[in-house]
Every structure is written in C-alpha cells, then in structure tokens.
Amino acid sequence: MADDAPVVAPPAEGAPPSSLSQVALLFLRLGVTAFGGPAAHIAIMENEVVRRRRWLAADRFLDLLGAANLIPGPSSSELAIYIGYEQAGWQGLVVAGSCFILPAALLTAVIARAYVRHGALPQVGGALYGIKPAVIALVVQALWRLAPKAIKRSKLLGALGILACIASAMGLDPVLVLVGAGVACAAVRGATSNGSGARGFGAPIVTGLAGGAATAALNPVSLLTLFLTFLKFGAVVFGSGYVLLAFIHADLVDRLHWLTESQLLDAIAVGQVTPGPVFTTATFVGYVVAGGWGAVVATVAIFLPGFLVVAATRPFVAFLRRSSTAAGFLDGVNVASLSLMAVVTWQLMRTAVVDPTTAVIVIASVLVLVTTRLNSAWLIIASGLIGVLRV
C-alpha cells in the first residue's frame, strides 16, 4: 500500500466489509428520506451503521459524533462524511457526503425556482403568511431544548451567553462574537486545568475566511462574493443549523441587502420541509439571489469546509475528544451561537408576527413542539394550510 493511501478502519466485529456502492446507496437513501433535522439524522445513521450493518462499533460512532460536534459546519452531514471516510477512504468521504446532501439541494433548487416564479400568487402568499410564524416557533423550541445543554449550569457560560447577546444586539460581527466567546472560555478552562489542548483551535480558519468575505463584499455582487460569503458561513457556523439564520441575517440582509427578512424566513422554512441537512437553505438563497448558478455556488461553498475539516481532523478524533482546551472552545462557541439565534429570532419576529392570527400560530406551534414529538415538516405544512385558508 502506498504511504499516502487512506487508512480505513476495519468494520465492527462480525460485519462484512462495506463497498463504495453500499456507502453510496445508504446515504443516497438517507438524503431522500431523512426528515426531522440533525438529531433525527444522527439517530437514523446510528441505527443503520452500528446496529443493522455493523460497519462501526458503538464507541467509534460516538467518537465520530463527538468530533462532528466539535468542528464547524452541519454535524449530521459531517458525521455522514466521517462514516464514508471510515468505510471507503477518500472516495467514501466524497460519495457519502455528496449523496446525503445532493437530494435535498436539488429539491430545494426546484422549490426556489417555483418561489421566484410564483411567490407573488395569492395562494403562495397565504401559505407563507402561515409558515413564517411557525418557523419562529421552531427556532424558539430549538433554543428551549439546547440552552440547558449549552449553559450546563455554569456561571461562566451563562455570563458569556449574556455578553454575546449584548454584543450581537449592538451589531458586532457574528464571527467575532463566536470566536471571542470560544477563546474566552478556552482561556479560563486552560487556566484552571492541567490538561493540554489544541490552543486557538479553529481561529486561523475563522479569521482568514472572515477577512476574505469582508473584502469581497466591498465589490459589486457577483458569484465570487456569493461563494466567499457562504464559504465563511460553512467555516464558522457551530451548533444547530438555525445558527445559520443569524449569519445570513447579518451578512445578506443587513450588510449586503441581498435578501429581505421575509425572504430569509421563507428560506429557513424550505430547509425544514425538505429532507437532509438544513444547510441546504443556502441552495434556496443562492437561487433567489443569482439563479441556478447561484444555487450551485452557494451549496458548494457552504458544504466545502465540512469535507475539508473532516479530512483534516479524522486522524486526530481521539485527541480532540480528550482536549480540554478544544472542549472549552466548543462550549463557548455553542453558548454564543444560541445567543446569536435568540437576538435574530427576536428581530425576525417583527416580520413574522403581524396580527393576532400569526401570534396564535406562534404560541400554538411552540406548545405543540414542546409537548409532542411531531415532525417539524408536518407543522410547517399545517401552518401553511392555515395561511391559505386565512387568505
């Protein structure tokens, strides 16, 4: 075997070896049928690759999941990429990720084309009238579920969350908010721990891409600007896919003025009703901004960092799991991510909640989400129907 050949982990004990075609078929099927967001995707993958196919031992799956949560980008997509790399090397890395992402991206592009052509029809306007407050409810429910896990009853993390909210409300760049919280938490943890870690984890990538996107934004809007902007998103967005909402709002609504707040809510809604990763919201935004090529460019840009970071970090998965500094950086970034989500959700609520009917949709949707396990896609569809009937 050549020295630079990828090292492929052996399958779990008793499992038959997996081929590239098996990897492709599994993740293509998941890309078509996996609704419900990252938590559902991860549960489905665990069932398929640990229990049914026995490609991975449970401990190895948990290591890969921990690494996917520790690096920027969509965790479920990166977990798929990790699994593909484990089973079929570099080819598996590309095939698993592409097969998981592509179906949702294609479906989202089709919806975006219809949206651009027919978004002004009364029936479509009525559906969007009902869907937007439901999207607000989805983000509120995600904040409700994730906040205790992010803060962990830690006074340090609670304080960082409050400071991040204030900084975001004052207009500080989201990248600076995330990196600042991560570095502060890692520094405090490092000062009180004897463990060694990856100091400055992620900062070079974050700083470099943020600078590149900022420079591009000074030029007229182009595919290059679109690519650099979404490349930055893919490189710095941690935590829930809803954090992407804060970044798109800061760059594409406030700074570049490519989208309205109403269009942003529509984009998030489309990400909810399609299978696969929520980050295919980028496909919708790209199409609305720059047509078919815009959809391609935005999709490639936002997912590209995930492929590269997975390839770079796979040999160090065990180290990242043990690193107190890396874990501290992630804790700080996660709590800041939720702060960004909270501030932007409050801002977008003014666009979504415009009368008593939309207020009722928000409240009822939150109650349904908190008290039941209803798939978010059904909630979006029901709210859209209410909007159509209201019109």
Question: CA–CA separation, 268 vs 264, rounded Å?
Answer: 6
274 DSSP assignment:
S
d(C-alpha 165, C-alpha 111), whole Å: 34
Give the residue among 318, 308, 316 at the shortest CA–CA distance from 72: 308
What is the rounded average pLDDT for all residues in the chain? 80
Q: How confident is the model at residue 73 (pLDDT cuts 50, 70, 90)?
A: confident
Cα–Cα distances (Å) from 192 to 187, 188, 236, in that order, read 9, 7, 27
Global confidence as pTM: 0.70
Top pLDDT among 65 and 258 is at 258
pLDDT-based confidence at residue 246 (cuts at 50, 70, 90): confident
For range 29-54, the mean pLDDT: 79
Question: Is residue 36 pLDDT above 70, yes or no?
Answer: no
Domain ranges of the chain: 129-390
Question: Average pLDDT in the 226-243 region?
Answer: 84
Residues 6+ apart with CB under 8 A from 307: 81, 93, 94, 97
Q: Which two tokens stand for residue 223?
A: 């595919």
In angstroms, how far is CA 123 from the centroid of its own chain? 30
Q: What is the pLDDT of residues 162-220, one digit of tens each?
A: 999 999 888 888 878 888 888 998 888 777 664 444 334 443 333 333 333 333 333 45
The residue written with tokens 């779990």 in the block is: 12
Q: Cα separations (Å) of 77 from 50, 243, 254?
A: 17, 15, 28
How many residues does the structure list for the chain?
A: 391
**Averaging pLDDT over each range in 53-57, 228-232, 349-353, which range is the top one?**
228-232
Higher pLDDT, 301 or 60: 301
The mean pLDDT of 106-124, rounded to a whole number, is 81
Structure tokens, 317: 């998965």
In this structure, are residues 110 and 273 in contact, taking their beta carbons and an 8 Å threshold? no
Band of residue 295 on the pLDDT scale cut at 50, 70, 90: very high
Among residues 71, 90, 79, 64, the alpha carbon closest in space to that of 6 is found at 90
Could you report the per-residue pLDDT of 74-89, keeping only the tens digit for each? 888 999 999 999 999 9
